[in-house]
Structure 1
Amino acid sequence: MSAVRKFRAPNRLSKLVRAEGGRLAQEALAAADAALEPLRAESLEALDAAMAEIESLFGKSAAATRASGAYRDLYGLVLRIIDVSGFLPGSCVDQAAISFCTLIDNCAESDAWRWDAVDVHINALRLLRTVDLNPQQRRAVIDGLNKVSQLRIDEA
């Protein structure tokens, strides 16, 4: 009977982790933040532009667009907000946009649009983006939006 021999392939990552030198995690994070900084202004402009477009096309003053049923456009605009909201950490803008997408999904499924809830989300996004709220106030806004977006059309 022969003896069992185990073969273990070398793992490059484990060698790098054990190696001397290199960057500390804090240094790597600082370098990543510095690399992202040039994109911050452009991303915030894109976020503000998406919010302005939502307001103009689907806000209270946009009765014609609301009647046209261009809901995919609304969803796409809200997704743009999610895409760039990482540049506003702690603002809860991303969570408000996710709640907005949930609302759009629920309205599309029921084939009945709750424009009052859309208005609430538009106003909340503007509030979270422009007003200096503390974390508890931001959390309260998000909790309220989640309740609004989860409310079924037959319960409204």
Structure 2
Amino acid sequence: MSVVRKFRPPNRLAKMIKDSGGLMAKDAIIAAEAGVESLREVSLVVLDDTLAEIERRFGPSAVDRNAESFEDLYALSMRIIDVSTFVSDAGVDQAAVSLAATTDSCAEAGAWRWNAIDVHLHALRLLRTVGSQLPAADRQSMIEGLHKVSHR
């Protein structure tokens, strides 16, 4: 009878897991969540400042809004989308996407559609202040209405 010898190559991953100094998955997730959470305050400040700038430059009471550029409003809309993670339950990001689409269509036409822009600005203000408190169906209906306006 012959003897069978088994050979097991070393498993680097198993060794790394057993060695101290590594990070457990649950600890890595907790650290990542804390890192993201540390961005909450600054993101909300940027969001509110951006909304205020849009209102000041492109709102109904803006002195010289016809002289503003489509690119500037588009860039401001993108900034809202970038920092709206912490208010994703309010629909602000979706309204900003619709505002960007509206701005893009204005740029293509070479003319402002102020009634469409004003509706979006009003919706953004409303969603930022009470969007997360609205029933989901009402919020979704508002977003769908904005999308209809932006595609008109």
1:81-107, Cα deviation, whole Å (9 max, x unpaired): 011011212221111111111001111
Q: Equivalent residue for 1:48?
A: 48
List structure 1 runs of 4+ shifted beyond 6 angstroms: none
1:39-72, Cα deviation, whole Å (9 max, x unpaired): 11011000000000000110000141x2214222
CA contact (8 A) 2:70 2:106 kept: no
| Alpha-carbon distance, 1:144 to partner | 0.5
> What's the TM-score, normalizing by structure 1?
0.77
Q: Equivalent residue for 1:6?
A: none
Larger Rg, first or second structure (1 or 2): 2
| Alpha-carbon distance, 1:16 to partner | 4.8
Q: CA–CA distance in 1 between the matches of 2:29 and 2:113?
A: 42
Unpaired runs of 5+ in structure 1? 1-11, 152-156
> What's the TM-score, normalizing by structure 2?
0.79
Identity of aligned residues (%): 49
AA aligned to 1:134 is P
Q: CA–CA distance in 2 between the matches of 1:16 and 1:139?
A: 46
Q: Equivalent residue for 1:146?
A: 147
AA aligned to 1:146 is H
Unpaired runs of 5+ in structure 2? 1-10
RMSD: 2.2
